[in-house]
Amino acid sequence: MDDDLSRILAPDLIDETDRVVEGALRPRTLDEYIGQREVKANLSVLLAAAKGRGEAADHVLLYGPPGLGKTTLATIIARELGVNVRYTSGPAVERAGDLAAILTALDERDVLFIDEIHRLNRAVEEILYPAMEDFALDVMIGKGPSARSLRLSLKPFTVVGATTRAGRISSPLRDRFGATYRLDFYEEDDLAAIVERSARILEVPIDESAARAIARRGRGTPRIVNRLLKRTRDHAQVHGDGRVDEATAKAAMRQMEIDDEGLDSTDRKLLASIIQKFASGPVGVQALAAVLAEEVETIEDVYEPFLLRLGFLDRTPQGRIATEAARAHLARLGYEIPPPRRGDSDMPSLWDAPPDPGDEGAGQG
């Protein structure tokens, strides 16, 4: 798959043009925000209570796969509170002084959004502890034996942290968030509603069946369905009268090498590699990354969550396994499917219960 197609289906990759367009498509209030109903309900109470008391809202941690609306929710939180939002990311804040400058510039009750918060370095993170807990900044004055700590007061503010890897956030930092919400993949009905809303904003005439066809291939991710809508709009403009019907949507998907399940060529290559090169697995993610010439984190964050959700991939203590559903899907597409090394049912999953020590033969070689 070429770079353009790869970018379309990688929810964490976005260029400046797409950023501007996607900004226009983002909902501005909780009422406009589609999906994530439990998160919305809890946030609505948290924000209404904070606003009623005239206080900064509790710090909020949002986690889940990329492209599900974490940045959008941070913006909505600030707008619902009637305050400003400042955006940064873990890798961008390299020194404790960088974070101190950001914190001292915040107005009362402002929102500080930190994307990829799990990538904050330790020195920066330690500055954040008293800032979040006590709205204070500890500054070292001088050097050596004469150095002393000076505590500066900060205006109350709200940190909204976002991460795709909640397990990598240290316990001291995680414990300082008053509310933690997981964002899940979207259902097809919600994605179809997002496609129709975006089409209205972009002034693209679209049939309900076409919106469904795009939603079905959107990998459960709003950012991806919006990109697919834009590419489908281009296809309809060049090859038709500009209206997006179901046939046009499906033709555009075929041109982008996206199949009926929403898999792109890299997804299929990943599954085919496990099936053909490793007899359906198990195979370690490092070996898989080498075969695909991809970074391990790209496989774990971009491709695996969707394949796991579809039931096409299983993660076991021994490695990744392509399931029978994946084998059947690729077989329907004409791939050569050799017999597996062993049955999927014989291979324990990470989520299987351990054997009962009292069972006969348990733990024996």
Question: How would you class 126 by CB atoms within 10 Å of its CB: exposed for 0-12, middle for 13-18, buried for 19 or more?
Answer: middle
Enter the DSSP assignment of 159.
E
Cα 237 to Cα 8, 9, 233, 248, 249: the distances in Å are 19, 21, 6, 10, 12
Tell me if residue 70 is catalytic. Answer: yes
Mention every residue, 6+ apart, whose C-beta is less than 8 A from residue 334.
none
Write down the catalytic residue from 223, 233, 268, 320: 223
Cα 65 to Cα 91, 164, 174, 240: the distances in Å are 18, 5, 18, 35
* Interatomic CA distance for residues 311 and 253, integer angstroms: 22
* Cβ neighbours of 165 (radius 10 Å): 14
Tell me if residue 115 is catalytic. Answer: yes
* Interatomic CA distance for residues 184 and 141, integer angstroms: 45
Q: At what angle do helices 16-25 and 222-239 cross, to 10 degrees?
A: 100
Write down the catalytic residue from 164, 221, 232, 248: 164
Q: Which helix (H) or strand (E) holds 49?
A: helix 37-53
Q: What is the 3-state secondary structure (H, E, C) of 208-242?
A: HHHHHHHHHCCCCCHHHHHHHHHHHHHHHHHHCCC
Write down the catalytic residue from 75, 109, 115, 250: 115
Q: Which helix (H) or strand (E) holds 149?
A: strand 148-153
Tell me if residue 164 is catalytic. Answer: yes
Question: How would you class 52 by CB atoms within 10 Å of its CB: exposed for 0-12, middle for 13-18, buried for 19 or more?
Answer: exposed
Write down the catalytic residue from 71, 72, 75, 158: 71
Tell me if residue 71 is catalytic. Answer: yes
The structure tokens 């790209």 sit at 298
Q: What SS3 class is residue 246?
A: helix
Q: What SS3 class is residue 331?
A: helix
Active-site residues, by number, are: 70-71, 115, 164, 223
